Amino acid sequence: MDYLYGIINSTLENATDARLVFLLLTGLAVLVVCLGIGFMVMGLSDPLRLKMMMLRKQAHGNAGNSANDRLMAKSSRTSLSESIAPKEGWQDSKTQVRLTNAGFRNSSAVADYYAIRFLLILLLPTIALGVTQFMPEMDANKIASVLVFALLMGIILPSYVLDKLIARRQRALRNAFPDALDMLVVCVEAGLGLQMALQRVADEIHVSHPVLADELHQVNNETRVGIDRIQALRNMAIRTGLEDIRGLVASLDQSVRFGTSIADTLRVYSDEFRDKRLQRAEELAAKIATKMIFPLTFCLWPSFFLVMVGPAVLGVLAVLATR
């Protein structure tokens, strides 16, 4: 460490800059080592990876055996089912649901999220402490305040970024849902089954709305591996976190339960959804007048009064100055 610090100091020829570069390199090295160890541990404990390694060993040891080939194909389908189907009880974890709403569906997402929070809690105060060493004018109270602020940032920042990712993904899903619903109504009324209609809609909107297309493909994949169709749609509603999709799933559930026509149910829900969109647009339009009060008061009206009243005030001041 002293040798490395000596090389940096001799290169920069400035003790302050050398200490700063040394602290940054040390923090970066610690971060890389922690991430490497974390990824290695998660990779070794990944159940899908272990299953694939077992299947690979079986394939090398039992090549040419038809019975073992059928067993391996069955195991492959089982591993595919385990990778597509969500784990039992994942809906009960708020962190897992939030990560799923942001688009992180892999099994290690929760562990990665908490690892990032833990690293930021350690790394940000360390960086703040290193930076304060170059500010001798700061007393102990200010240094403590900076460390507490860095610690709070390490705690709050991951959750804040996750909320922004959730909002961005839900905005994309909300913008794509009306088009997908109209196409779904057309496909079902044309005679396609619900699963084939979902597949067709996912294929059609894959370019324009890839996020919703991925969710619809996930529903079809879960249905293929044996999950009930309504349960797969409920999983999609939980993954997206949108009230509109939750309402659609509830309508389809009632249609399947009472034996009514799915096409009629989709048509009725599409009409109701259009009314809701119109009401939401009217509500936003009604709020515009209230929201424009503060910009008009502080931005437009001062300029207006300056232009209109300013010349008159200058004229009055000129007249008074001549007296």
Task: Give the separation between CA 172 and CA 184, rounded to whole angstroms.
Answer: 18
Residue 294 lies in a domain: no
Range of the domain at 16: 2-168
Do both 115 and 213 map to the same domain? no
Q: Per DSSP, which regions of 66-158 are E strands? A: none
Do both 213 and 256 map to the same domain? yes
Least confident window among 64-78, 137-151, 184-198, 199-213: 64-78
172, pLDDT greater than 60: yes
265, pLDDT greater than 50: yes
Looking at every residue in the chain, the average pLDDT score rounds to 78
Do both 46 and 64 map to the same domain? yes
Residue 228 lies in a domain: yes
Give me the DSSP letters along 5-63: HHHHHHHH--HHHHHHHHHHHHHHHHHHHHHHHHHHHHHHH-HHHHHHHHHHHHHHHTT
Residue 181 lies in a domain: yes
Residue 161 near residue 196, CB atoms below 8 Å = no
What is the three-class DSSP state of 86?
coil
Do both 152 and 235 map to the same domain? no
Task: Give the separation between CA 114 and CA 109, rounded to whole angstroms.
Answer: 9
Q: What is the value of pTM for the model shown? A: 0.65
In terms of Cα–Cα distance, which of 125, 127, 129, 183 is closest to 152? 125
Do both 163 and 59 map to the same domain? yes
In terms of Cα–Cα distance, which of 253, 246, 239 is closest to 91? 239
Do both 117 and 194 map to the same domain? no
Do both 192 and 135 map to the same domain? no
pLDDT band at 165 (very low <50, low <70, confident <90, very high): very high
pLDDT band at 88 (very low <50, low <70, confident <90, very high): low
Q: Which helix (H) or strand (E) holds 282?
A: helix 262-291
Reported as a single tens digit per residue, the pLDDT across 286-308 is 888 888 888 888 888 888 888 88
133, pLDDT greater than 60: yes
Reported as a single tens digit per residue, the pLDDT across 3-37 is 555 666 666 666 666 666 667 767 777 777 776 67
Residue 305 lies in a domain: no
28: its two tokens: 């970066």
Do both 66 and 159 map to the same domain? yes
Residue 241, amino acid: G
What residue has token string 């007393």?
139
Query: What's the rounded mean pLDDT across residues 319-323?
Result: 78
Do both 66 and 144 map to the same domain? yes
